[in-house]
Chain A
Amino acid sequence: MLQFSRFVAVRFIMAIITLLMVSFIVFSLMELVPANCAERYLAFKNTQGEQVSVADIRAEEIRMGLDKPYVTRWVNWVSDVFVRGDFGTSCILRVRVNDLLGTKFWISLGICMASLLLAYTIAIPVGIYSATTNKPGLNNVLRFVSYLGLAMPNFLLALMIMLASTILFGDSLTGLFSKEYRDVPWSFDRLMNFLSHAWLPVFILGWSATAFALQTVRALMSDEYNKLYVTAARARGLSGRQLLWRYPARHALGPIINSLGFDLNRIFNELPIIALILTLTEAGALLLESLARSNDQQLAGAIIFMLTASIIGLNFFTDIMLAVLDPRVRRGILGNA
């Protein structure tokens, strides 16, 4: 037990180190964007009709601390993020990034996690069933649906659903809230309104994730199912569910858990496009906007950092799960004890 807590602690520290490295990369990317925050803001002012001189820019740089060395600025940024969870101020909008993102980030993370949950809730039982039954018809149908999910781009699915819904119900199903709930504080009614809208992005993102997960689960399961230890267990009289869950399913679970982090990453990648099409005013769309339209590196950096942190967090979690489930992994990390 002590060993296990040590393992968790070590993994936690490693996750923090990874996060620090990510923060450095993200910070460097923010720096590499042509023109710094001061120049960008004043250039923006310029388009608003204000006269800006080079001296104004220099003064603004000093005010924002942009004249300090690169590493100092990174340390400042990263310590603000880690200690106070403060991502600084948006370059252009001049509001705190935290206020700007608000609950938006958590909403998009929630949507991604829900898609992931949906995918595996469907994929695990269906994948196991299809790997262990000898019904060619069923397996062909599953394969077809699965390939459809893999081959059809998510945005196409989104457009098709929107089109169908507009024609049939006169509602394009866009947005995450109805008009009256858009800018009001959270309440029970607002939550219900949110849920009545959120199923669509969850479904669309979950669709291809399910197809992917189904293939993974099926392959892993039929792999395990044909292994000798399953035959040996059968030879000892085990059968039915007892055999299935304790032997092949249990042993396939490790690699399935391993694929979670990868899948979340994929869902994150797909989120901005879906968010754009369904006009969801949440983090994914905000990232595109901040990069493409207003070139707001502070905001973009914060979003990239938070997405990456979620993936690192999930991987930390799956590592622990894996060690709990598989004695080989556990022994590999803890040594012989």
Chain B
Amino acid sequence: MSRSLLSVDNLTVKFKTDEGMVTAVDAVSFELKQGEILGLVGESGSGKSVTAKSLMLLNAGNTTYGGDSKIVLHNEDRDIDVLSAKEQRDMMAIRGGAISMIFQEPMASFAPAITIGDQMVEQLLLHGSMNKREARELSIDMLNRVGISDAKARFNQYAFELSGGMRQRAMIAMALSTQPKLLIADEPTTALDVTIQAQVLDLMKDLIAEFGMAVLLITHDLGVIAQTADRVAVMYLGKIVETGSVRQIIRAPKHPYTKGLLKALPDLDDLGAPLTPVAGDIPSPLERPAGCVFHTRCPEIIAGRCNTIIPEITDLGDGHSVSCLAAEPSMVTSA
């Protein structure tokens, strides 16, 4: 359980655009253990999806990775240096072999004119030593296991013939059919109705336990994280600002941004309480603030420090860490 599966070290991702270089991910490091569910939380534009896509080298052609960035996948027999993967078998391992990904929009992630079954079989033939008949049987079996009724008929259908929840189930079935070590789920329930969301989340939890794989769960919804994840990393403007166990993050958040996110959740016990959104908008990635990236919206800003000094990552013990000048224990004593 405790062996490391994936290490991301100092990941920096930049995009070359007409307006100049845009930093989408800035020196992000995290570790994912086997069988662990890590939630990656943040607003749109915080770099969650870009981070996830980097793990499978799926970012667009105008992407450059930092020179000292390193992503290592500790695969069964050997370690794979993802960012410099060239060999076919390494590429196959990070794409569909050891890592699978499911996306936010299940409708758009299936090819519209190819049956669901054909897409599933194609992937299995690509990765395994199966023949067509075996691949077909396994695919139908997987569709059954994700709770799709009449799986044999669905196998021959197209994505547009299925309902939204059904499509995401099929996507999960397809992602798990190659038995990956790591499942990346990029906002897997965001496009679904709330009732369907709960069903799909439950299904994912069951399957994750059954298959024993690690999951990187990307979402902006702390509720989803609280239900599903073991650990949480909170991202803001390309940086991880706080990491900890779900308990630590929800019960004792240290970063003002994490606190803000939690306050922005509606409280079902106190319906009269006004919602308090995190003030302001996420700045343009073209104009990243100097100092702490969050200082432009921070309610706990220390004038003269937060806008000049980039906070270090401080270890608070028990796997809880934060990058914030206001939350550093040393600050409290020296001030």
Question: Which residues of chain A have a CB within 8 Å of any CB of chain B?
Answer: 134, 227-229, 231-239, 246-247, 250-251, 254, 325-328, 331, 336
Chain B 96-119 interface residues, beta-carbon cutoff 8 Å to A: 96-97, 100-101, 103, 105, 108-115, 119
B112 and A328 form a contact (CB under 8 A): yes
A134 and B61 form a contact (CB under 8 A): yes
Of the residues B97, B113, B123, contact of A250 by C-beta under 8 Å:
B113
Interface string of B105-140 (1 = CB under 8 A from A): 100111111110001001100110000000000000
Min CB gap A255→B, angstroms: 12
- Taking the complex as formed, is B302 at the interface, i.e. its CB lies under 8 A from any CB of chain A? no
A232 proximity list for chain B (CB < 8 A): 101, 103, 109-110
Chain B 284-305 interface residues, beta-carbon cutoff 8 Å to A: none
A236 and B108 form a contact (CB under 8 A): no
B112 and A251 form a contact (CB under 8 A): yes
A254 proximity list for chain B (CB < 8 A): 113
- Taking the complex as formed, is B161 at the interface, i.e. its CB lies under 8 A from any CB of chain A? yes
CA A254 – CA B113 in complex, angstroms? 10
B114 proximity list for chain A (CB < 8 A): 246-247, 250
- Taking the complex as formed, is B91 at the interface, i.e. its CB lies under 8 A from any CB of chain A? yes
B111 and A233 form a contact (CB under 8 A): yes
Of the residues B96, B111, B112, B113, contact of A235 by C-beta under 8 Å:
B96
Chain B 41-83 interface residues, beta-carbon cutoff 8 Å to A: 53, 56, 58, 61
CA A235 – CA B111 in complex, angstroms? 13
Task: List 23 interface pairs A-B (beta carbons < 8 Å), by A numbering.
Answer: A134-B61, A229-B108, A229-B110, A231-B109, A232-B103, A232-B109, A233-B111, A233-B119, A234-B58, A235-B58, A235-B95, A235-B100, A236-B95, A237-B127, A238-B123, A246-B122, A251-B112, A251-B113, A325-B113, A326-B112, A327-B112, A327-B158, A336-B161
B226 proximity list for chain A (CB < 8 A): none
Question: Which residues of chain B have a CB within 8 Å of any CB of chain A?
Answer: 53, 56, 58, 61, 91-92, 95-97, 100-101, 103, 105, 108-115, 119, 122-123, 126-127, 158, 160-161, 174
Of the residues B92, B108, B109, B113, contact of A328 by C-beta under 8 Å:
B113
CA A235 – CA B105 in complex, angstroms? 15
B103 proximity list for chain A (CB < 8 A): 228, 231-232
A325 proximity list for chain B (CB < 8 A): 113
Of the residues A237, A247, A327, A336, contact of B95 by C-beta under 8 Å:
A237
A247 proximity list for chain B (CB < 8 A): 111, 114
* Chain B CB within 10 A, most for which of A232, A234, A246, A336: A232
CA A247 – CA B47 in complex, angstroms? 27
CA A247 – CA B91 in complex, angstroms? 19
Q: Which residue of B lies closest to A246 (CB)?
A: B114
Min CB gap B141→A, angstroms: 18
Min CB gap A131→B, angstroms: 12
CA A331 – CA B160 in complex, angstroms? 10
B119 proximity list for chain A (CB < 8 A): 233, 236
CA A336 – CA B153 in complex, angstroms? 13
Min CB gap A253→B, angstroms: 9
A251 and B111 form a contact (CB under 8 A): yes
Query: With A232-B103, A251-B112, A251-B113 known to touch, is A237 a contact of B158 (CB < 8 Å)?
Result: no
Of the residues B105, B113, B123, contact of A236 by C-beta under 8 Å:
B123
A328 proximity list for chain B (CB < 8 A): 112-113, 158, 160
* The 10 A-B residue pairs with the shortest CB-CB distance in the complex, in nearest-first order: A237-B96, A232-B109, A228-B108, A236-B96, A237-B95, A236-B123, A229-B111, A235-B101, A134-B61, A327-B158
* 20 more A-B residue pairs beyond the given contacts A236-B95, A236-B174, A326-B113, with a C-beta to C-beta distance below 8 A: A228-B108, A228-B109, A231-B58, A232-B101, A232-B110, A233-B119, A235-B96, A235-B101, A236-B96, A236-B122, A236-B123, A237-B92, A246-B111, A246-B122, A247-B111, A250-B111, A327-B115, A327-B160, A331-B160, A331-B161
CA A154 – CA B234 in complex, angstroms? 61
A233 proximity list for chain B (CB < 8 A): 111, 119
B174 proximity list for chain A (CB < 8 A): 236
B109 proximity list for chain A (CB < 8 A): 228-229, 231-232
A239 and B91 form a contact (CB under 8 A): yes
A227 proximity list for chain B (CB < 8 A): 108
Of the residues B61, B105, B113, B123, contact of A237 by C-beta under 8 Å:
B123
Min CB gap A244→B, angstroms: 13
Q: Which residue of B lies closest to A134 (CB)?
A: B61
B95 proximity list for chain A (CB < 8 A): 234-237, 239
A238 and B161 form a contact (CB under 8 A): no
Q: Which residue of B lies closest to A326 (CB)?
A: B113
Query: With A134-B61, A231-B58, A327-B158 known to touch, is A238 a contact of B112 (CB < 8 Å)?
Result: no
* Chain A CB within 10 A, most for which of B91, B100, B109: B109
Min CB gap A25→B, angstroms: 37
CA A285 – CA B123 in complex, angstroms? 56
A238 and B101 form a contact (CB under 8 A): no
CA A236 – CA B103 in complex, angstroms? 12
Q: Which residue of A lies closest to B171 (CB)?
A: A232
CA A231 – CA B108 in complex, angstroms? 10
CA A157 – CA B58 in complex, angstroms? 45
CA A134 – CA B92 in complex, angstroms? 23
